[in-house]
Structure 1
Amino acid sequence: MAGKDYLHDVQECEKKPLWQRIGWLLVIWTASVASLGVFAWLIRLFMTAAGMKTH
């Protein structure tokens, strides 16, 4: 049964310390914000190279 395996996985995750779970959350959030920043920088770089400037 898939439901039993899922419940077991959830219980295993809950055994980890809170600081470790929050740490993973912060790592994933930081990585997503950084990747979004790089993507926005690349778009701006390409737009500037194409002659689109804000001033």
Structure 2
Amino acid sequence: MAGKDYLNDVQECEKKPLWQRIGWMLLIWTASVASLGLFAMLIRMFMTAAGMKSH
């Protein structure tokens, strides 16, 4: 009966304060934006090293 376990998990999550749920969302969003920026910087660095400049 996986449905009961899932419903119980959802009810447990809803008991947490709103600020904590929003905090987790902001943390995950910030981490994803930072990792995307790091990835873009690495690509740009490799492209510059290969002689492909933007000007």
> Does the TM-score normalized on the shorter chain lie above 0.5?
yes
RMSD of aligned Cα (Å): 0.2
The count of aligned residue pairs is: 55
Displacement of 1:28 = 0.0
CA distance in 2, matches of 1:53, 1:47: 7
Runs of 4+ in 1 over 6 A off after TM superposition: none
Say whether residues 1:39 and 2:47 are aligned partners. no
State percent identity of aligned pairs.
Answer: 87
Displacement of 1:49 = 0.1
Specify every segment of 5 or more residues in structure 2 that has no aligned partner in the other structure, as ranges.
Answer: none
Specify every segment of 5 or more residues in structure 1 that has no aligned partner in the other structure, as ranges.
Answer: none
Q: Which residue of 2 aligns with 1:54?
A: 54
SS in 1 for 2:24: helix
Q: Deviations over 1:1-55 (max 9, x none)?
A: 0000000000000000000000000000000000000000000000000000011
Q: Which residue of 2 aligns with 1:30?
A: 30
TM-score (norm 2): 0.99
